[in-house]
Structures are given as C-alpha cells and as structure tokens.
Amino acid sequence: MCCVSSTSTLPKHCMDFWENFWGGVSLLIAGLFILCSFVYSVLLNIVTEDDPASFILLATMVFSEFALLMWSYGATHFTRPPDIPAKYHFTSEEWSFLEEHGFQTEAVRERLSAMAVQRGVRTRSYSGHVNYCYQCRLIKPERTHHCSMCRRCIARMDHHCPYFGNCIHFSNFKFFVLTLFHASLACLLIVLSTVVYVVVHGRGLHRMYDNIPAMVVFGFMMGVCIIIVFTIGGFFCVSMKQAIHNMTTLESIGGTVLFADGTKETYDLGSYMMNLRQLFGPVMIAWFVPIYSTPGDGMTFLVRSELPKEDKQRKQERKLKPTNFLESRGAVGPS
C-alpha cells in the first residue's frame, strides 16, 4: 500500500509501517522462542513422559497463559481507536474563518471557545486555550491527542507503542494491560514451575548433562524469562499504578485537568475500584478476560466533582473511620 502513496509521504509512511511491523514480529519471535524452548528443554528433557501428571499440568498452565497472552496481544493490535464524531470536526465555514484570520489572534481564540462550548467540550489546554487539531481539523474531545505515527486524533490516548503496531487508547487499554500481565505471568510461571519441579523431585537436570544443546537452550530461555519478568512486569506495575488513579501516561505529567471556567479537575475519582471500573468495566470477572468491557464513548469522562453526593460522603466517612481497634471501642490511653 505504501508504494502507491505520494513521494512526499512515502518515506514517512513506509518508516511507520516497518517500525510497527518489526515491533510486532520481534514480540512474536520472542514468544515462539520461549514456548518452543520450554517444550524442548523442560517438558522433553527435564519432566519427560516418565512423569505424565507433571507433564500435563505444566504444559496446560504454560500453554493456557500463552493462549491468553496471544489473545490479549491480538486484541491490543487489532482494536482501532473510536472515530471522533462529526460534531467535533470544523465545518467548512468555520475552517475558512480560522485559516483566514490565523489561529493565534484573540478573535479566533474567542471564536474557538464558542465552538468548543457549542460542541460540549469542557477541557482546555494548560495555557487556557481550546485544544484543537490542525491536521484533523477538529476540536479535540476530552483526553484526545493527535498521534504522529497513526496520523489521526486518538481518543484517550495513552501512548503509541510500535511493538503493538497501534496506539494504546480508550478501546484497547484493558487489552494492553492484560498483555503485560500475561506476558509477565507466563514467564514467571516457567521459571518458578521449573525450579520447583527440579527442587522437589531432585532430578531432571541430570538428564540434560549429556545434551549440550538442551542445556544451552534451557539456560538462554531462563535468562530471557527472568529479564521479561522484571522489564515487562515493571511496565505492568507502572500501567496499573496509572490505572488505579485513572490516569494516562500523558496525563501523569500534568496531573490536573483545566476546565473552561478555570477550575482544575481530575479524572481520579478517589477510589481505586471506581477508577478501575471506568477502565475495565463494572463486572470484575470480565477484567481478566480480553473481551471489550470498557464503558463510555471515549469522548467524555466523569471527574471527581461530578460524583454523586452519596459517594463523596461515603469516601469521607472512610477517611474518618477509626484506624485501630482501641479507638473504635472508644478506649482512651492513660493521661
């Protein structure tokens, strides 16, 4: 497809394509290498068919994790960001006015502000101006950013990840987190199950002493798995920290959200569970399965000041709740 593009966009388009392509291929190769190495060095040379119960148990656990990993990765890669509704796009008349008068004049800023109010866009940039996109010719909805790699505006953009060939956005953030989780868990499972089996049964490694290729593959696989546990596991922890505070990577830099009236808001609802439900859905069991369950349209989001009074009061009561047993019983220490 990139070969039929214009010469001005050909290099950039092809560069983006190959970066996304090789990012995904490298992950696929790494996953297949670990899985094949596990079968060859662990199942066939350490456990073997002499211990069918352990063979079946380990194979089932590891293959199940890799199946969930591939499912989550595929969902992250193939889930496109939601389209920005037409109401956010400038009309031809509005665009002509903006181009004619320039975007930095006070008159244009006032006109942009009126356009944003008309479209129901509450947020502003940190400088107090309307967030608009010149390339896409639209007023950006809440938490929307333009991605130079995807060449479009992305709803609730977190970041662009070439290893997934996609932006991490409103519709696939859950799948992204699950991919990190299952990748870390699969490698941790391989390391721990192998070590436990060797320690408990006191055999297995002896079978590989005469099989140098198996020992080399085993050592390399264990090293790669340990590296993945710490690196991908670290990314998972960072992503979950942002998730429990209902923050994107871009928002973690600024923290607060500026509204048109000048008030500072936050998408952190003050409760970890409420924040996670905003991202993963109301049904907790669905959080762990790579199926779409994120509520909302990706254009507007709940902020803390919009919480019902009952929720605010409940959270305030939790803060005032006695913190120890003696205090809860009204006990008073010696004066």
List the one residue out of 266, 272, 261 whose CA is nearest residue 306.
266
Kindly give the residue spans of alpha helices, DSSP state H, lying in 9-143.
10-37, 52-78, 92-101, 106-118
Give me the torsion for CA of 200, 202, 204, 206, rounded to 10°: 160
Angle at the Cα of 284 from the Cα atoms of 275 and 145, rounded to 5 degrees? 40
| pLDDT value for 29 | 84
Kindly state the DSSP code that residue 209 receives in the 8-state scheme: T
Rounded CA Rg of the chain: 26
| pLDDT value for 17 | 56
Residues 162 and 149: their CA atoms lie apart, in Å, by: 9
Domain locations along the chain: 86-166
Kindly state the DSSP code that residue 4 receives in the 8-state scheme: G
| pLDDT value for 4 | 36
Kindly give, in sequence order, each residue whose CB lies less than 8 Å from that of residue 143, ignoring residues fewer than 6 positions away. Answer: 123, 155, 156, 157, 170, 248, 251, 267, 301
Tokens of 278: 């905003």
Tokens 């591939």 locate to: 70
pLDDT per residue, tens digit, the chain (335 aa), is: 333 333 334 445 554 555 556 666 777 888 888 988 888 878 887 777 667 888 888 889 999 999 999 999 999 999 999 999 999 999 999 999 988 887 778 888 889 999 999 999 998 888 888 999 999 999 999 999 999 988 999 999 999 998 898 999 999 999 999 999 999 999 999 999 888 877 776 666 666 677 788 888 888 999 999 999 999 999 999 999 999 999 999 888 776 678 877 788 889 999 999 999 999 999 999 999 999 999 999 999 999 988 886 555 555 545 545 444 444 444 444 43
Is the separation of the CB atoms in 66 and 186 below 8 Å? yes
| Distance, CA of 110 to chain centre | 36
Is the separation of the CB atoms in 218 and 264 below 8 Å? no
- The whole-model pTM stands at 0.83
SS (H, E, C) 121-180: CCEECCCCCCCEECCCCEECCCCCEEECCCCEEECCCCEEECCCCEEECCCCHHHHHHHH
| pLDDT value for 326 | 41
Kindly state the DSSP code that residue 266 receives in the 8-state scheme: -
